Amino acid sequence: MTGSLVRAALDRAASVGAGREGLNILVAVNPHAVADAESAAARGGGQRLLEGVPVAIKDNIATLDTPTTCGSRILAGYVSPFEATVVERLRAAGAVVLGKTNMDEFAMGSSTEHSAYGPTRNPRDPCRVPGGSSGGSAAAVAAGIVRIALGSETGGSVRQPASFCGVVGVKPTYGRVSRYGLVAFASSLDQVGVLAQSVEDAALALGIIAGRDPRDATSAGRDVPDYRSAVRRAATGTTPLAGVVVGRPREYFPDGLHPGVRERCDAALNTLAELGATIRDVSLPHTTYAIPVYYIVAPAEASSNLARFDGVRYGARVQAEAVTAMYDATRSHGFGAEVTRRILLGTYVLSAGYYDAYYKRAQDVRTLITADFRRVFAGGVDLLFTPTAPTPAFKLGSISDPYEMYLNDIFTATANLSGVPAISVPIGTAEGLPVGGQIIAPHFGEASMFAAAAALEHALEHSPGAPPPSAPAS
């Protein structure tokens, strides 16, 4: 049995066409995966939580055995000399890194179309996007290659692709998981997240990677609850959510919401009520400013973080006679259009004369968005339920307007701006495509979030009227 799970995953990847000519999910495969599984089993004695289980890692999370390129030409072939804390913790639990997944370049995108490797296709419908920027990780889970994959979140880049691909996606509280080894996009927003085939798988993985890391000053020294036990308790009993108050924020259910998404969300709220929860209408009034705030704060931080990619220290270099010409040539060749756009925007809002008008004001409004969540949770609401994305997955190439693309983050960016945890759970289909429902919890409230998500997942799976789940491509 040693290495059998890894071999099965590699076979599955081949059968669904996970390479460049097919779904374009994996941008690098660990050539030592089977050997790693065998040696890990010998060391671990078969007693660890993820013994021999293959996992996929987003291409912006550092690994020793495969390149870390962030989906960009500027890091083509780059292999990190160290490994991310989250990868170390997965390996310590017995997991085997199968390979790296495709992504929007430097995690800047909502469709995984902005990648130097080309777009990833949604396993549920190859004519559609898998979401982004963690689209490759979501697709790896949806296609049945792995049960668990790591992604990263800056404005919804785990939850939105989870919704589009019909899998579970978790964004933890800011500071719950170490960012050491995650290539920085916007440091005050970035987080490592989990994509999985079930709520229990996601809870198991988050429990393994969470916790204080002395190498990351922003990681929190908080005890990590047993998320898996919370999930298992919630999946039993007729009213597992008795006494739980679930808020329905009116700003997340606008008149223009896709009718199929609204229908599935209304049905999910009814299911939560049947499970014992009390549903209460609430307001998060500053939600309307989330997209403008996010697209000032994130590009501003990106312009600073990406300044290190200059052709001097590591990564690609385009030779030129003068140093400044080399900088210009390297960055012009190495960065794609979307990354360039955000660097320019970020540099502008941080420039003299505009810092106070844009960046400082955006941070002030960010504080108001965070205060909205604190007020609602302090007012007796335990959890919030919203759509994850405003529509099901859209067709490849169908959105060319950057602002229209940015609106895909409208229901997810607030959790990143405020640092609260959130999870996307499949709640059915609309027009034959997966729809995700989002549960948001107070800071460090992952255990109650997982419990509610597991109860909802269990109820929907066993509901006589529930639509059958979409089958992965084969």
Residues with a known catalytic role: 58, 133, 157
Amino acid found at 179: R
By the 8 A CB rule, do 194 and 421 touch?
no
Q: How far apart are CA 205 and CA 91, in angstroms?
A: 11
Q: What is the CB neighbour count within 10 angstroms for residue 317?
A: 17
Amino acid found at 281: D
Q: Which of 67, 71, 60, 56 minimizes the C-alpha distance to 111?
A: 71
Q: What is the CB neighbour count within 10 angstroms for residue 218?
A: 14
Q: Tokens at residue 165, please?
A: 């691909």
DSSP 44-78: HTT-STTTT-EEEEETTB--SSS---TT-GGGTT-
> CB-hemisphere CA count at 13 Å for 51?
12
**Cα separations in angstroms, 379 against 287, 362, 375, 383:** 18, 26, 6, 11
DSSP 239-291: -TTTT-EEEEEGGGS-TTS-HHHHHHHHHHHHHHHHTTPEEEEE--GGGGGHH
Per the DSSP assignment, residues forming a β-bridge with 97 are: 55
Collect all residues with Cβ–Cβ distance below 8 Å to 308 and sequence separation of at least 6: none
Q: How far apart are CA 173 and CA 170, in angstroms?
A: 10
Strand ranges across the sheet with 96-101: 26-29, 96-101, 54-58, 148-153, 191-196, 168-171, 422-430, 433-440, 383-387, 245-249, 278-282
Amino acid found at 236: T
Helix (H) or strand (E) holding 29: strand 26-29
Q: How far apart are CA 100 and CA 19, in angstroms?
A: 11
Q: Which of 291, 274, 296 minimizes the C-alpha distance to 344?
A: 296
Amino acid found at 52: G
Q: What is the CB neighbour count within 10 angstroms for residue 364?
A: 10
**Cα separations in angstroms, 134 against 26, 40, 171, 248, 469:** 12, 27, 12, 27, 22
